[in-house]
Amino acid sequence: MLKTLSSVSRPRRAPWIVAVALAFALLQPAAPAHASKVLAIVNDLPVTNFDVSQRQKLNSIIGGPRTRKAALRSVINAAVMQTEAKKRNIAISDQQVDKALQNMAKNMGGMAKLKATLRKRGVRMRTLRAYIRSSMLFRVLARRMGKKIAPKISPGEVDRRYKKIINDPRLRPITIYNLRQVTLPVENVAPAMRQQLQYARLVEAQQIMKRYRGCARLRAATSGIFNVRVSKTLKADPRRLPGPLKKAIRLAGTKRMIGPIRTRQGIQLIAYCGSTKITPPRPKRAQIEAMVKAEAFNREVERVMKQLRKNAFIDYKDKSAALIK
C-alpha cells in the first residue's frame, strides 16, 4: 500500500510524493509570455511577442515552418514589405484580400470550418488576413524587382525526404497514460485555521481512497464530499513523467489512488485510468511533395527578402530575436 500523509504538521514527504507534485505542475498549462513585449522595430513598425506567437500558430495550420525563429523572420519580412510597398505606392485592397480569403476557405471546407480551425488553434482572423496581404505584396514587389519565383524540385528529392520522414522514430506508436486529478481545495481561510482544514481534507481524501474502485466510479467515490474538484482525463506521456511517479502508478494500478498529496491548492489525489496506444498518422507522398515545394519556394522568397532587408532599418530589442541579415 502506498504511503500517505498522516499529519499536516511538518510531514515527511516520500520522494514519490514530490515527484507526483512536480509531474502535475508540468501537466498544468504554462503561463503565456508577455504578449506586448517588443522584439524588434522594423523602420517604424514594432514586432511584438504576440505577433510572432500568432504567426507560429498560423504556420501550424497553413503548413509553414513552425519554429519560433522562422515565425519571427516571417513577421519581420512582412513589416519590411509593408514599408517597402509604401515607398513604391503599392497597395493591396481589402477586396483583394477578401477574394483570396474566400478561395482559401473553399479549399479548407468552407468559411465556417476555417473560422473554427482558427479558433481552435488560437489564431485571430486579422492574423490570417495580414498573412494573405503580405503574400500578395511579395508577389507584386518581386515582379517590380524583376525577380521570377519558379522553384523546381526533382522526384528523387521528394522520395528521399519521404523515406526519411516515414522512418522517423516519432511516427512509431506511443503509449499515453490517462490520469485524473481530484482536488480538495484549502483556500480562503485564515492561517490559524489552515492546518485544521488541511487535516480535515486529509481525512476526506482517505475516505475517497477507500471508496475508490476505478475511474468509472470516481464520481461516486467523491460524492458527498464538500467542494471537491475532479479533472477531466489528462493525457500524460510516460516518457516525460518522473521515475518515482511511474513506479507509483504501476503499484497503484487502476483500482487504487495515488496520494494524498499536499499542494498550494489543497489536498490532491491521482487516479490512473489505464493507458492508450496512439499511432501517429503516416503522411502521404503528396503531402511530402507539397512540403518540399514549399521549402524550395521559401528559399526563393528568402533571396528576395534578404535584398529588401538590406534597405530596412531593423532594431532588435531582444538578443534572442536577432536574425542574420
59-92 per-position pLDDT tens digit: 888 877 778 998 999 999 999 999 999 999 999 9
How would CATH label the architecture of 15-26+173-278? Roll (3.10)
Task: Read off the pLDDT of each residue in 12-21 and give the average, rounded to a whole number.
Answer: 45
Question: Can you tell me the distance from the alpha carbon of 273 to that of 255, in angstroms, rounded to the nearest whole number?
Answer: 9
Q: Give the pLDDT score at 23.
A: 47
Task: Read off the pLDDT of each residue in 89-103 and give the average, rounded to a whole number.
Answer: 94
**Which of 60, 19, 45 minimizes the C-alpha distance to 240?**
19
To the question of domain 43-168+284-321 being in CATH 3.20.20.80, the answer is: no
Q: Give the pLDDT score at 76.
A: 93
The yes-or-no verdict on residue 19 having pLDDT over 50 is no
Question: Can you tell me the distance from the alpha carbon of 197 to that of 8, in angstroms, rounded to the nearest whole number?
Answer: 10
The yes-or-no verdict on residue 28 having pLDDT over 50 is no
Q: Give the pLDDT score at 265.
A: 85
Domain limits, the chain:
15-26+173-278, 43-168+284-321
Give buried/exposed letters for 103-128 (b at 16+ CB in 10 A, else e).
eebeeeeeeeebeeebeeeebeeebb
Q: Give the pLDDT score at 14.
A: 47
* Own/partner pairs, 237-241, CB within 8 angstroms, 24+ separation: 237/174, 237/176, 237/177, 238/175, 238/176, 238/177, 238/275, 239/174, 240/26, 241/23, 241/177
pLDDT grade, residue 45 (50/70/90)?
A: very high
Burial of 94 (0-12, 13-18, 19+ CB in 10 A): exposed
What is the pTM (predicted TM-score) of this model? 0.55
Q: What is the pLDDT of residues 104-141, one digit of tens each?
A: 999 888 999 999 999 999 999 999 999 999 999 999 99
The better pLDDT of the pair 91, 5 is held by 91
Question: Can you tell me the distance from the alpha carbon of 109 to that of 105, in angstroms, rounded to the nearest whole number?
Answer: 6
Q: Count of alpha carbons within 13 Å of 295, Cβ hemisphere only?
A: 12
Cβ contact 198:267 at 8 Å: yes
Question: Can you tell me the distance from the alpha carbon of 248 to that of 2, in angstroms, rounded to the nearest whole number?
Answer: 8
Average pLDDT over the chain reads 85
Phi, psi at 139, each rounded to 5°: -60, -40
Q: Give the pLDDT score at 4.
A: 35
Question: Can you tell me the distance from the alpha carbon of 73 to that of 66, in angstroms, rounded to the nearest whole number?
Answer: 11
Helices 68-87 and 49-62 pack at an angle, to 10 degrees, of 100
The yes-or-no verdict on residue 12 having pLDDT over 50 is no
Cβ contact 311:252 at 8 Å: no
Question: Can you tell me the distance from the alpha carbon of 238 to that of 8, in angstroms, rounded to the nearest whole number?
Answer: 30
Query: Which residues share a beta bridge with 46?
Result: 41
Cβ contact 81:137 at 8 Å: yes
Q: What is the pLDDT of residues 158-209, one digit of tens each?
A: 999 999 998 988 888 989 999 999 999 988 777 778 888 888 999 999 999 9
Q: Give the pLDDT score at 294.
A: 82
Share of residues in the chain with pLDDT > 70 (%): 87
Q: What are the start-end ranges of the H helices in 28-144? A: 49-62, 68-87, 94-107, 111-121, 125-144
Q: What is the pLDDT of residues 262-307, one digit of tens each?
A: 888 899 999 999 999 988 888 898 989 988 988 888 888 888 899 8
